[in-house]
Amino acid sequence: MLGWVGAGALVVVGGTLLRAQRQGLLDPRTGPAYTAWQPTHRTGAEAVVAAAVLAASPHNLQNWWFRPTTAADDSVTLDVHDDTSRSLGVVDAHRREAHLGIGAAVANAEVAAPALGFDTRLTIRPRADDDTLLARLVLTPRTPAEPDPLAQAIPHRHSDRGAYPPEEPSADLLDRVRATALTGAAGVDLVWITATDQRQRLGTLLVDAATALTADHGMSVDNAELIRYDHQQVERYGDGLTIDAQALSPFLEVAAQLLPATSRTQGDKSWVRSTRDVHTATARAYGLVVGDRSDPATRVHAGRVLQRLHLALVAEGWAMQHMNQEVEMAERDATLGTADRFDAPLTQFAGGQVIAALRMGRPSGRAVASPRRPLADVLR
């Protein structure tokens, strides 16, 4: 009997180790899907694109592609397109968040270019007859500059979904990073929500939005589409939201990696719980980006602001997480023609139409890199 028990235990342990290996637990975030975060020896426009793809995008969608064209004077025209084949479905029916991702990639390119030997000139929506061409960067050769703090922050910028420590930001810090974020922006503003009562009210709205989103079948299904429970999926697709990027406790993270994939309903409940007990409970300030959310150019500028803000916060030793379920539900209510539950309250908070929202605080220590697609997939 003991022999059979020992053999059974060996099978269980062996099976667990095999799944741990398949899930990347024994050597996490070291496969091909994570090589983009490693130091690169690329030069020229390709190096600029390599920095651009490290930007944030909705659900790590990476809905961008780039076309560099070199002129006789060695300047490079870098066209940045929205890859409309990559979509969040009804969650982003109007591609607001997709355009935010394009703006974030543009911001990374602008920030990285001087140290890579380029001055930049940006045009948003350079051609009225091409809705996918959202930005054009002209890269003019120059003597490489010393990397500024924002450029140095690029490989260290990760969405921090963990519990932020109690320290609250100073007004000076918020003013400083706001000014950095808004540099070069047109048609957008950044409003900080810092008062305790306002944070509590906005936090409640965010929890209500997460609850409403998960109660909407179409939103719930499309919201879960890019969740990658399996390490082999991560390596195959190089995109999406991974388990280890959710800032779970070490025990829950290991359990989630080893156990079979959870159901969509269970995942929804877990997200609402995290929104209530972690994200809003430990937000030390909220930021609301304000502007015309129906205008693609404004969305791109808003994405630039969000990315520059995140880089500035990281450079100052702070963390950030995008929280856009309330805008997603505001758009959903408008699309369905149902009663407005979120747009009016958001407008009251911000004094204008909200394009995107975020929370910030000191780092949780749980933020990690997300996968990236190969550069060859986004250069055309």
Domain ranges (residues) in the chain: 42-154, 160-361
- Rounded Cα gap, residues 100 and 322, in angstroms: 11
Structural Rg of the chain based on CA atoms: 21
The predicted-structure confidence for 204-213, as pLDDT tens digits, reads as follows: 999 999 999 9
Measuring CA to CA, how many Å separate 23 from each of 77, 214, 244, 264, 351?
A: 40, 27, 11, 19, 46
- Identical fold for domains 42-154 and 160-361, yes or no, is yes
Residue at 363: amino acid letter:
P
- Rounded Cα gap, residues 33 and 79, in angstroms: 24
- Rounded Cα gap, residues 351 and 53, in angstroms: 33
- Lowest average pLDDT, out of 73-82, 117-126, 223-232, 303-312, goes to 223-232
Q: Where are the alpha helices (DSSP H) in the chain?
A: 2-22, 44-52, 96-112, 149-153, 171-181, 196-215, 217-223, 231-237, 250-258, 264-274, 296-315, 325-336, 343-350, 375-378
Tell me the pTM.
0.92
Nearest Cα neighbor of 244 from 6, 18, 15, 27 is 27
- Asked if 373 and 61 touch (Cβ cutoff 8 Å), the reply is no
Residue at 41: amino acid letter:
H
- pLDDT value at residue 29: 78
Q: What is the mean pLDDT of residues 253-277?
A: 83
pLDDT band at 5 (very low <50, low <70, confident <90, very high): very low
Q: Is the dihedral of CA 167, 169, 171, 172 positive or negative?
A: positive
- Strand, coil or helix: 362: coil
CATH class name, domain 42-154: alpha beta
- Lowest average pLDDT, out of 21-35, 299-313, 328-342, 354-368, goes to 21-35
Order of strands, sheet of 76-82, starting from the edge strand that comes earlier in the sequence = 64-70, 76-82, 133-141, 118-124
Residue 42: phi and psi, rounded to 5, are: -65, 155
CATH class name, domain 160-361: alpha beta
pLDDT band at 248 (very low <50, low <70, confident <90, very high): confident
